[in-house]
Amino acid sequence: MSFSPIAPQSVTREGHDGISHNLITQENYEFLRDSYSRYAGLLNADAPHDRGKSIGEGIANLYNELAALLDETVHVNYEERNGRLYFNLWQTHTWGEYTLYYFPVKFVEALNPKLRRIAMSFLHHLMRANGFSTINDEEDTNWVFEMFSQDDDGEDRKERAERHRLLQSYKEGRIYKLLDRVYRKSYYKNLPEAIDKYECRNGLEQELIALMRQGLEFVNPDKSIMSYAYDPWFDEEPEYYPKGLEQQIRVVYDCEDIMTEYLIDFYNSSRQETYDIIPITTFALSPETDKVFSREDNYPERFFRWADKFINFIY
Position 1 scores a pLDDT of 58
- How far is it, in rounded angstroms, from Cα 122 to Cα 266? 29
Asked if residue 104 lies in contact with residue 120, where contact means CB atoms within 8 angstroms, the answer is no
Position 4 scores a pLDDT of 44
Residues in contact with 10: Cβ distance below 8 Å, sequence separation at least 6, in sequence order:
22, 24, 56
- How far is it, in rounded angstroms, from Cα 247 to Cα 254? 16
Give the single-character DSSP code of 154.
T
- How far is it, in rounded angstroms, from Cα 187 to Cα 118? 7
Asked if residue 102 lies in contact with residue 251, where contact means CB atoms within 8 angstroms, the answer is yes
Region at 227 (left for phi over 0; alpha for psi -120 to 50; beta for the rest): alpha
Asked if residue 306 lies in contact with residue 221, where contact means CB atoms within 8 angstroms, the answer is no
Position 16 scores a pLDDT of 63
Q: 58, 7, 2: which is closest to 32 by C-alpha?
A: 58
CA atoms within 13 A on the CB side of 79: 19
Position 237 scores a pLDDT of 86
pLDDT in tens, the chain (315 residues): 544 444 566 676 666 667 777 889 999 999 999 999 999 999 999 999 999 999 999 999 999 999 999 999 999 999 998 889 999 999 999 999 999 999 999 999 999 999 999 999 999 999 999 999 999 999 999 999 998 888 777 788 898 899 999 999 999 999 999 999 999 999 999 999 999 999 999 999 999 999 999 999 999 999 999 999 999 999 888 999 999 999 999 999 999 999 999 999 999 998 999 999 999 999 999 999 999 999 889 999 999 999 999 999 998
- How far is it, in rounded angstroms, from Cα 293 to Cα 298? 14
Q: 235, 231, 259: which is closest to 243 by C-alpha?
A: 231
What's the one-letter identity of residue 200?
C
Helices (H) and strands (E) in the chain, counts: 11, 7
